[in-house]
Chains A and B, each alone.
Chain A
Amino acid sequence: MSLLVDAVASARILSRYQSLRIAQQRAGGDYWEGLQHALLRCGIPALAPAIAMIGLAFSTRELHIALTVVLGVMLLMVYGGARSRMSAFDLLRHPSRGGLVLGATLHAVPWLVWCGACSALAIALSAPGAHTNAAGVMVLVAAFLLPTVAALRGASRRVLERSGARELGVLLPVLAFLVTRFATEHWLPGYSWWVVVAFVAFLGFGAIGSGVVAPMRELAFTAVVFVCLAFPVSEAASSALVAGDARAMTVASVVLILSVALIVSELFVQVRHVDRMEVVRSRAADGDAPPSSYGPVVFRKARAGGGIAAARMRYYVDLHLPDPTKKLSWWKRASAWTGPAIMFPLIFLRGPVLAVLAVTLSGSETGGVVVISALLAAFWASRATSVDIVSFEERLWLLGVDYRDQALHGLRCLFLVGLLPTLLAAVVTLLVLSPFDAARQATVLLIVSAFLLRAGLVGLWPFREEHRVRPALLLTTLAIATLALGPVWSGDELAYAIYTCAGLGTIGLALRLRRLRKSIKKAPLRVA
């Protein structure tokens, strides 16, 4: 009972803080920031039913599926990242730790209800009439609870000071998409083992990368997400749900039970473990944090031999793995590896996996999904989802690595760490599946030309080296247009896409290299 009282008190504290923020924004006449915040919080979940309506209104099934998958990724990240502060101030000033955890959840209830309603509405729109039978109602309730489950899961991880399940969170909808398509509509007859291998590899990679320590809860969460995403994207699943047959009933009841069990267990874990929570984060005041391994790795010779070439290779690997300074995952500590082991992380990069997916799918259907997979293989091959090939590092600049050198280094990395393994994976897949299949060959060429486009994009007017948002917007527009065209992609259209990407990429790359060479003679390239 006292826990509940504390939780209510904590929720009130958080509400008071929010009121003060709003009052401050009003006093300063800064309505735009508040509006942006509200739009983001309420607008993004509302995209789920909007996309379901698009799916109903247009026959662009691929666009519907892709948008659902992209939105699923985004929503899981939004729910999982729901704010709950656990600083020293909070632990000392809130009535109790358990109350703080529960209070944060209580405070988020109105927003979670809104998100849940949007999520359930998306399924109701995708499977009209589902609400008339018990299975449908149970799935709708599970979808309603999904944002709460995801938010609690994210909070649990923060309470327990573990890493966020970012990779797994991003990959889950992709897995759901793949397996759903395979299981329900037999999109890939004859290649089912590829899907299973991809599933297991992705899941294993995600599990390792995100440091899963509660596999049962993660698996239960995976199942709930899978089912909630399967209904909007799969016609067969929607039909089964509307019919309310025994199979749908079984799946629906299991998912509902899992959802409720997850909410209870996550809350239980948080309250139980919150007293063991430690505030270990430290500002750099007491001695600055050591610099990242970028600089020393370049100049430090291989600890177990190998010379400067191995050291340089480690540098490439380090630079292209996310957050190399964190010690969360074994595979992120690539700089400590020696010998052939330093090549190991390369196989986990996203480019090769997406290339295998693109080449495999192109055997049975040359549609927008194949094109977008090929584009993603190039633009998402390493480090970040953004299209810039190098993130300019002020720290590196301070270590004496000029921005121009960083740009050139990024280009080298793109080809060495991005293109080579991706192309290798695509060619091996092509040889294994069907070496003389014209569609698959075209897909390999498309991947190469997409890499060229990525390398040359910032060389084209109106982009500059430091631009990140504009190329990203262009790429997003390109991806949506590609998917909207859907099944149009075949034969000549694919050839035009290859020529366009390769042509633009080559011109852009030439212009870019010219610009970078000029900057050697004139002034060093500076980033605004």
Chain B
Amino acid sequence: MSDTRDVAGDVAVRASGLKKRMGKTDAVMDVSLDVPFGSVFGLIGRNGAGKTTTIRMLLGLLRPDAGSSQVLGEDSLSLSKAARLRIGYLSEESFPYDDLSLPRTLEFVSAFFPTWDWDLSERLMERFAVPNDTPLDALSAGERRKAELVLVLAQNPDLLILDDPAAGLDTLVRRDFLWAALSVARDEGKAVLFTSHVLTDVERVADTVAFLEKGRVRLISPLDNLKARMKRLVFIGHARNGARLLVPGEITRRRERADLLVVTEHFDERETEALRASWGDVIVEDLNLEEIFIEVLGRGPETDDEAQT
């Protein structure tokens, strides 16, 4: 790993107030985030939330209408060649030089990177079992994605940006990929920023997550912290008389048979004890990331409107 680090601390990516309008749509309205070295940062959101646009602005492929971003200590719009070579980017687009077989593609791509790790590329090729003699454009979508993963991981980058890497991959390969991403970030203190719609994957590897909704960061938090403070409280038998119930940090509530289910984003054991004293038996349930995602983004006012529409 390179010795050069961001002067502001160990921050690989920093974005503040990014905005981007695409045609008549506000693709990104206000995105600010920090990705420190040694972390795996999951950017999640529904389709069209602005994840890809944000990543492209971070890499200088799109010019933000407002706001700024720095990657590896340099402004995104003027990344030096040295900085660009320290970034591994798996785009959601297909790899453009796709009429070569994987070994020849590796030969072509490796020449760009002084840090190219041939051992890793061979290990990954073996592990992913990508056909050696077939041009990339003739591979199946999943095999092609595996080949692209090999190309990115073998660059041995300081910052790994993966835009929906799990697309088209089967469960086993996704697990392999997660292993590779984790080893990159944790063992060598590098940074990983990735988007995915497979929230179980995000939960397995990410240590910080950001929820994007309609171009805005709805929530950003270390995953452990998020899971510790977001809980579902089940008020037994209070489905009908819970109107007066006030739960600090409540974000949603619904009835399920005779019970009232309230999700709070500021769970506190002492306050829960106080609620128990007033409302009787209260069960505290943990939420996994998928449930948190649904509670935060899936039951918001916008979604309700959409459902009504």
Contact = CB atoms under 8 A, between A and B. Distances in A.
Nearest to B55: A88
A24 B96 contact: no
Given A93-B112, A281-B93, A285-B167, 6 more contacts: A90-B96, A92-B84, A280-B22, A282-B93, A283-B93, A285-B168
A286 B100 contact: no
A21 B107 CA distance: 11
B104 interface: yes
Contact of A286 (B62, B92, B95, B109): B92
Given A87-B96, A92-B84, A280-B22, A24 B111 contact: no
Contact of B47 (A275, A276, A287): A287
A96 interface: yes
Most interface-central of B22, B77, B93 (chain A CB within 10 A)? B93
A92 B92 contact: no
Nearest to B195: A286
A20 B93 contact: no
A113 interface: no
A278 B63 contact: yes
B167 A89 contact: no
Contacts of A93: 84-85, 109, 112
14 contacts: A13-B112, A17-B108, A21-B100, A89-B91, A92-B89, A95-B81, A96-B81, A278-B56, A278-B61, A279-B61, A282-B92, A285-B167, A286-B163, A327-B23
Nearest to B113: A93
Contacts of B89: 88-89, 92
A20 B101 CA distance: 10
Nearest to B47: A287
A383 to B, nearest CB: 26
B252 interface: no
Interface in B10-49: 22-23, 47-48
Contact of B97 (A17, A283, A287): A17
Contacts of B77: 275
A279 B108 contact: no
Interface in A285-332: 285-287, 327
Contacts of B48: 286-287
Nearest to A92: B84
Contacts of B135: 24
A142 B107 CA distance: 41
A90 B133 CA distance: 24
Nearest to B107: A20
Nearest to A6: B81
A282 B94 CA distance: 9
B95 A24 contact: no
B57 to A, nearest CB: 10
Nearest to B20: A278
Interface size class of chain B, counting residues whose CB lies under 8 Å from the partner chain? 35 or more
A391 to B, nearest CB: 23
Interface string A164-207: 00000000000000000000000000000000000000000000
Contact of B108 (A16, A87, A91, A96): A16
B92 A85 contact: no
A23 interface: yes
A275 B77 CA distance: 8
A24 B52 contact: no
B216 interface: no
Contacts of A96: 81
B273 interface: no
B100 A24 contact: yes
B52 A88 contact: no
B146 interface: no
A280 B81 contact: no
Contacts of B176: none
B59 interface: yes
A279 B101 contact: no
B44 to A, nearest CB: 12
A17 B99 CA distance: 10
B190 interface: no
B164 interface: yes
Interface string A10-22: 0001001100110
Nearest to B45: A286
B231 interface: no
A283 B92 contact: yes
A280 B92 contact: no
B66 to A, nearest CB: 15
Q: Kindly name the residue among A20, A85, A92 whose own CB sees the greatest number of chain B CB atoms within 10 A.
A: A92
A92 B164 contact: no
Nearest to B105: A20
B238 interface: no
Contacts of A17: 97, 100, 108
Given A20-B104, A280-B22, A285 B63 contact: no
A21 B98 CA distance: 10
B87 interface: yes
A16 B97 CA distance: 12
Contacts of B62: 278-280
Contacts of A16: 108, 111
B51 interface: yes
Nearest to A12: B111
Contact of B164 (A20, A23, A91, A285): A285
A87 B92 CA distance: 12
A283 B163 CA distance: 11
A93 to B, nearest CB: 5
A16 B85 CA distance: 19
Given A281-B93, A282-B93, A285-B164, A92 B107 contact: no
